[in-house]
Amino acid sequence: MFKAIARFFKWLFGSKKPLLEYDGKILSPDGRTECMVRLLNGQVVYSVQKDGKSIVRESHVGMELRGDEPLLNGLMLVRAVSKTFDETWETVCGEEQYVRNNYNETAFYLSESGGKKRLFTLRFRVFDNGVAFRYELPPQPEFQKLIVENELSEFNVDSNSYAWHIPAYQPDRYEYNYTRDSIYELTGSVHTPLTIETPTGFFLSIHEAALYNYGSMTLKVDGNGALISDITPLSDGARAYVELPFDTPWRVIMIADNPLELTMNRMIFNLNDPPKQDFSWVKPLKFMGIWWAMYVGEWTWAEGERHGATTEHTKEYIDACVRLGIPGLLVEGWNNGWNGDWLANGPTNDFVHPSADFNLEEVAKYAEAKGVSLVGHHETVGYIDNYERQIDEAYKEYADNGIHYVKPGYAGAYMTVQGRREYHHSQVGVRHYQKALELAAKYQICLDVHEPIKGTGIERTWPNLLTREGARGQEYEGGALFPSHATILPFTRLLSGGMDYTSGIFDVSNNVKRMATTLARQVAYYVTIYSGMQMAADRPKFYEEVHPDLFTFIKDVPVSWAKTLPLLGQIGQFYVVARRDRYSDDWYIGGVTNEEARRVRVSLEFLDGEYEAQIYRDGDDAHYRENQLSLVVEKRRVSATDFLDIWMAPGGGFAVRLKKL
Ligand code: NOJ
Ligand code: CA
């Protein structure tokens, strides 16, 4: 280690004299995006332009440290090292089979000119569709540990821009409705990805990539009217405790000419490393659940007469999975801890022992014999020390029983650890989620994390993280979810990776949870909302007996895609996307609209050959409140020269399977 450090210092200070002033730029591979980096009066600022138009005005970078001088002033440039990178990599599953990762990079090696002469590196990567940078802190004799008091990464975009935002530091974590306001109107801190429309017509999203061992970045408006990082604090106010060497997460500015192009931005995955171990065992999954029956009050998570997760019910659901051709089944409420007030039981929840009426081994054997993959469930209520005491044994128990999918949940308003209340998205939370993910990989378990840490592309490195919830999903139906929500998600939350929206609920007019959706829209979600684990969330009878015609789409639609083509959309209004199955020549189209009815004319120019279009759409009199069930299922022969003219009802949507003939 010491030799390596000595070599690094020797190389760094090699022959050249450090610069006290610098002004340079990094161009994207296509030359349209420019990142300017300037060293002036001992401080570093950066700015970004596209096609000569300002995207980010001069913005500061730096870090405040507890018990030490900030890393901000008195800097000189010791070296600048540039490179070009271009690769195409294959995803285990996802919206695309192949992802291109092409950028120009410059690493600026900086040193303080006085004091402790601390060193750090600012590494910038400029892609055709955005700019990213991070702070890298090498080990140094007089600088080995640090407490980040705050990070000072500014994103000085025009404050007249509009932003679609959800508030940070709230009890329901990321599960809020988006609002659109000018940046200068933002109060408090907001979560990322923060999607922005500039007055010059660009669509940006500010986010982060490769979040490890650090508080997650939220954004707020600083005294100069610029967006600035607000790293989620720990309960003692510090943002992170780190030992050197340490690299911060990447600060990411996605840039697009229009909202649809933004949805294709894969920078956050490209800014993560390839996997370091074999993940060929990871398989995306479609699954039903002993779940919605609890939400609509038919069954309970708790034991008793109406207990959902009994051995008997689970076997019945497994049989239904076989009949319906759904290969997975989630079982919630199987373990001890649900009786009484389950939220209050958090500190003592038991993740190892099944309740008296649930025989885990028997159920697991039955599922295996029927070829159905069980999805286990751990509701921690955020009491992560209680969970971490049991997690190894709990994952091992699942793996020993052939269970290779788990849905962990963190439904508390905070993470609780040793009596301290910490934010889910603080360094403590980030470390916990990572620990669980790595342990899951050890047992070949795939995760669908509810109340997760936000997605920062780490599923490139850890593909067993198949999906997350992490936004307001269908569990909020029954009053708190509006049709516009699903037309905002593709441009905001879904830029951070897949989401388990718990789609496919056909009992849309249930009195307990009356849903703001038409029936047809429920199947559109399988295409409009990517998720490496897709739930068919309703009870089997609604698929087998009530709407078997519509269920055909859920049965057919794949989970993993070869290609994604966003076709039409405006944030908050509508969204239409086509995707090609990874394992066949079939294409699928999904479309959703907000509270307004809308007719779309979808060109099929992406087809090659003759196809049968199997269309599931709103009936001409459908409406998300007044007439939810009006549905048309029809077939047509089509090819590349055809168009599909489809009407979406208020709060409606459609799905099409294009089957190659
Ligand atoms: C919250 C999750 O979002 C939901 O899916 C789950 O059913 C409940 N927690 C109970 O674990
Ligand atoms: Ca939730």
Give the span between the Cα atoms of 644 and 312, in whole angstroms.
46
Percent helix, strand, coil in the chain, to 5, is 20, 35, 45
Give the span between the Cα atoms of 447 and 394, in whole angstroms.
14
Q: Is CATH 3.40.1080.10 what the domain over 2-270 is classified as, yes or no?
A: no
pLDDT value at residue 43: 98
Assess whether pLDDT exceeds 80 at residue 219: yes
Q: Taking residues 607-625, report their average pLDDT.
A: 98
- Residue of 105, 215, 217, 233 lying closest to 154 (CA atoms): 217
Q: Is the CB of 409 under 6 A from ligand 1?
A: yes
Tell me the per-residue pLDDT of 555-581, one tens digit each, with 9 for 90 and over: 999 999 999 999 999 999 999 999 999
The number of residues in the chain equals 661
Burial environment of residue 307 by CB neighbours within 10 A (0 to 12, 13 to 18, 19 or more): buried
Phi, psi (deg, nearest 5) at residue 463 = -65, -10
> Letter for the amino acid at 169?
Y
Q: Taking residues 145-172, report their average pLDDT.
A: 97
DSSP letter (8 states) at residue 610: -
Q: Is the CB of 469 under 6 A from ligand 1?
A: yes
Q: Taking residues 270-290, report their average pLDDT.
A: 98
For a mutational test of ligand 1's pocket, the pick from 176, 375, 378, 450, i.e. the residue with the most ligand atoms closer than 8 A to its C-beta, is 450
CA 596 – ligand 2 centroid, Å: 27
Check if 64 is active-site: no
Q: Is the CB of 332 under 6 A from ligand 1?
A: yes
Assess whether pLDDT exceeds 90 at residue 142: no
Q: Can you say how many angstroms the Cα of residue 85 is from the centroid of all Cα atoms in its chain?
A: 25
Tell me the per-residue pLDDT of 190-214, one tens digit each, with 9 for 90 and over: 999 999 999 999 999 999 999 999 9
9 band by pLDDT with thresholds 50, 70 and 90? confident
Q: Average pLDDT of the chain? A: 97
> Letter for the amino acid at 21?
E
pLDDT value at residue 308: 98
Give the span between the Cα atoms of 356 and 342, in whole angstroms.
17
Q: Taking residues 615-628, report their average pLDDT.
A: 98
Q: Is the CB of 538 under 6 A from ligand 1?
A: no
Assess whether pLDDT exceeds 80 at residue 4: no
Of the chain, the percentage scoring pLDDT greater than 70 comes to 100
**In contact, 39 and 128? CB cutoff 8 Å:** no
**In contact, 452 and 415? CB cutoff 8 Å:** no
Q: Is the CB of 172 under 6 A from ligand 1?
A: no
Domains 2-270 and 476-661 share a fold: no
Tell me the per-residue pLDDT of 394-433, one tens digit each, with 9 for 90 and over: 999 999 999 999 999 999 999 999 999 999 999 999 999 9
Query: Model pTM greater than 0.95?
Result: yes
Q: Which ligand is nearest to the CA of 375?
A: 1
> Which ligand 1 atom is the nearest neighbour of the CA of 502?
5
Q: Is the CB of 328 under 6 A from ligand 1?
A: no
> Which ligand 1 atom is the nearest neighbour of the CA of 469?
3
pLDDT value at residue 522: 98
pLDDT value at residue 482: 97
Residue nearest atom 1 in ligand 1 by C-alpha distance: 411
Tell me the per-residue pLDDT of 91-129, one tens digit each, with 9 for 90 and over: 999 999 999 999 999 999 999 999 999 999 999 999 999
- Residue of 138, 522, 93 lying closest to 275 (CA atoms): 93
Number of H helices, E strands in the chain: 12, 37
Q: Taking residues 77-93, report their average pLDDT.
A: 97
The CATH architecture one would assign to domain 476-661 is: Alpha-Beta Barrel (3.20)
1 band by pLDDT with thresholds 50, 70 and 90? low
Q: Taking residues 496-519, report their average pLDDT.
A: 97
For residue 645, list its beta bridge partners: 601
pLDDT value at residue 224: 84
CA 89 – ligand 1 centroid, Å: 34
Domain ranges of the chain: 2-270, 277-470, 476-661
Tell me the per-residue pLDDT of 528-542, one tens digit each, with 9 for 90 and over: 999 999 999 999 999
pLDDT value at residue 3: 80
Of the chain, the percentage scoring pLDDT greater than 90 comes to 97
Q: Which of 592-613 are b and which e, b meaning 16 or more Cβ less than 10 Å from the residue's Cβ?
A: bbbbebbebebebeebeeebeb
Q: Is the CB of 379 under 6 A from ligand 1?
A: yes
13 band by pLDDT with thresholds 50, 70 and 90? confident
Residue nearest atom 10 in ligand 1 by C-alpha distance: 379
Q: Which ligand is nearest to the CA of 410?
A: 1
342 band by pLDDT with thresholds 50, 70 and 90? very high
**In contact, 125 and 271? CB cutoff 8 Å:** yes
The CATH architecture one would assign to domain 277-470 is: Alpha-Beta Barrel (3.20)
Question: How is residue 654 written in tokens?
Answer: 């459609």
Q: 290 or 225: which carries more pLDDT confidence?
A: 290
**In contact, 180 and 196? CB cutoff 8 Å:** no
Q: Which of 183-217 are b and which e, b meaning 16 or more Cβ less than 10 Å from the residue's Cβ?
A: beebeebbbbbbbbbbeeebbbbbbbbbbbbbbbb
Rg for the chain, CA atoms, rounded? 25
Catalytic residue, candidates 149, 151, 469, 475: 475
